[in-house]
Structure 1
Amino acid sequence: MSGRIFQCGLEAVLAVLGGKWKPLIVYHLASGSKRTGQLRRLVTNVSEKMLIQHLKELADDGVIRRIDFKTVPPHVEYELTDFGQSLADVLAPLCEWGTLHTAEVAKIVQRREHGAKIV
């Protein structure tokens, strides 16, 4: 079995972080472990099904670790692995860029939603 050949490093990143919510999950876990309910509140507009699916995929890929405290009621937390922390470290500058350009990005999103061309 041969490994996939990526044309650039960004393809490799997208292979791990592909999906609308995964970067936000990793970003929020960078500040420490979180329970599912905490992540649901932090990652706004994500459905329960999609959050659980992305958490499972990130855990399967070794980006996050699922910690089951084996209690009743269930207590499960998620935290970044070292691999996941290295990914969170490179997301931080993207977050800064988004913060710096929030107004411009908001205009782009509004134009897209209204079908207008961006000039």
Structure 2
Amino acid sequence: MPTIHFEGRDVECEAGAVLRDALLAAGETPHNGLADTLNCHGMATCGTCAVAVDGDVSERNAAERRRLSFPPHDADSGLRLACQTEVYGDVDVTKHGGFWGQHVDEK
């Protein structure tokens, strides 16, 4: 069973689980501030669940590539949308600052 390491906590999930869903089920959130309420609920349209992910996860799908290709995101940032990322093995997840989590140089 994969383990998600997120903000000092370990969350277990089934292989293939959507990262956003696994975090929310564990009482965690991939959103900052008001984005916890003001988001697209997993439709890959808002981009507020952008996180840095290191580990065994799915490739970016078309919806994720599309949303991460326009501001405030940058397609080259390396960020992933938690709502589109499937977890296959242990992962380290980091949420950066900013409404969309786009400030990769700050925490």
TM-score range, shorter chain: under 0.3
Q: State the TM-score, normalized to the length of structure 2.
A: 0.24
Higher relative contact order structure (alpha carbons within 8 Å, sequence separation ≥ 6): 2
Q: State the TM-score, normalized to the length of structure 1.
A: 0.22
Structure with the larger helix share: 1
